[in-house]
Copies of this chain bind each other. A is one copy, B any other.
Amino acid sequence: MGWRYAALEERFKRLSDLRDAIAILHWDTAVCMPKGASAARGEQLATLERIAHDVLTADETGELLAGAEAENDLDPWQRANLREMGRRFRRARALEPRLVEALARAVNGCEMVWREARQRSDFALLRPRLEEVVRLVQEVARVTGAALGLEPYDALLDEHQPDLTDALVAPLLDGLAAALPPILDAAVANRRPARLPAGPFPVERQKALARRLMTRLGFDFGAGRLDESAHPFCGGTPSDIRVTSRWREDDVASALMAVLHETGHALYEAGLPRRWFGQPVGEARGIVVHESQSLFLEMQICRSAAFVRFLAGELNDTFGPDPAFAPDNLLALWHRVDRGFIRVDADEVSYPLHVILRWRLEKALLAGDLAVADLPSAWNEGMQDLLGIVPPDDARGCLQDIHWPAGAFGYFPCYTLGALLAAQLHAAIRADLPDLDATIARGEIDPVLKWLRSRVHERGSQPRLAELIVEATGGPLVVEPMLDHLRERYVT
């Protein structure tokens, strides 16, 4: 190992320490910070981000990268690490500070206006702000794409999931758009009446149950926490994972399901290769793979008939008997499919259709084929086409998500590609572990976790996306395992 590569490892370790500090401060902002501190916290975070940006984009980083390429004694992990370092450097250097700052300012203003616009269902209020964000994101996509040799939209996808391109996304999402509607029809027709658990469900007992289940699923409270925040998330660092959820006394399921979902993210972070903590190659492979892990745990495992049987017993033990805790009733509740307006409330059958709508619209916006002014009508037409319903107002339509006001374009497809990967991983695991259902019905997921660790978690960012998927599942990402899963759960 030459001195240039060694110097790069030290430099990226420093960046990782900064990122870790930022992650804990973000958690603190959501969980602990008193309101009066938000302006000062914003400045602390901006300073840390700026320092990290300066360290990453320094000329010296580029010189070390160029020199290290010629050091020929690197092992495959070191070589992959160098590749990921270079990717970050080139991406960060692609944009002039002027453009980064202009986008940050525009996004900041747009997000604030978006909150009010959504509340008042007033798209006209948002429009000029969103136009500015779209204009700047177009420039970012063009400039970054030029620097990385990517099409503009691919440059955005690649930010969230390295190596993801629209050539990979399009056949998958178009395939789902064609195949899902009849599944959705059948799933809605197959709904069974179900009763809601009565409650109230004391929040402290809900939290204790969540902790017990997390522990059982493999979460280590010696290296992480569970807390409360306005929106559930999984943050922190691989050795200090901060999961949050939000509890309500009258609802036993939603906080719990959020915890199970976030625990999927958490187990991925915890399983990353310890030897490479603090280096780019030791980090998660991207948003698609991250989403695959949360959706795998929530959708494939925890909402399965086998696990729901186990969960029914836990609910009885925790809150006392309730006929609504019968496994069959819980399944009827938790496998209920709806044509709804809101993406975040959607079930796994209709969710991809919400994503497809946004993917089509954001591409049209960025290509200049759709004017921001025409977004509400295009949204409503798309909802009619894909889901057969039209939102009664823009609050329940094109104003519902923060992503675009926040400048996040090219993110939505990751959700659904993650769901596809989750289903494909599950099919591969079931082929490898024939007794899986019986094990899961006992609340044991150790064999599953072991499988995921060796095939996904411990690989970090050493393989590229396509390699990871082929090596873990035996083939490239396709829609069939997901469609099989949905037909099995909702149609037959």
Contact = CB atoms under 8 A, between A and B. Distances in A.
Interface of A: 13-14, 17-18, 20-21, 24-25, 28, 32-37, 39-41, 43-44, 46-48, 51, 220-225, 237, 239-240, 277-278
A222 B34 contact: yes
A48 B14 CA distance: 9
Contacts of A220: 36
A8 to B, nearest CB: 16
Contact of A24 (B17, B25, B39): B25
Contacts of A36: 220, 222-223, 239-240
A183 B168 CA distance: 85
Nearest to A20: B44
Contacts of A46: 17
B35 A277 contact: no
A49 to B, nearest CB: 11
24 contacts: A13-B43, A13-B47, A14-B47, A14-B51, A17-B43, A17-B47, A18-B51, A20-B44, A21-B47, A21-B48, A24-B24, A24-B25, A32-B32, A33-B240, A34-B222, A34-B224, A34-B225, A34-B240, A36-B222, A36-B240, A37-B223, A40-B239, A40-B240, A43-B278
A221 B36 CA distance: 9
Contacts of A18: 47-48, 51
Given A17-B43, A24-B25, A40-B239, A34 B221 contact: yes
A220 B46 CA distance: 25
Most B CB contacts (10 A, CB to CB) among A14, A34, A222, A224 go to A34
A32 B30 CA distance: 14
A21 B44 contact: yes
A20 B48 contact: no
A176 B273 CA distance: 60
Kindly list the 7 A-B residue pairs having the minimum CB-CB distance in the complex, ordered from nearest.
A37-B240, A36-B223, A17-B47, A36-B222, A40-B239, A17-B44, A37-B239
A470 B92 CA distance: 54
Contacts of A34: 221-225, 240
A19 to B, nearest CB: 9
Contact of A222 (B20, B35, B47, B277): B35
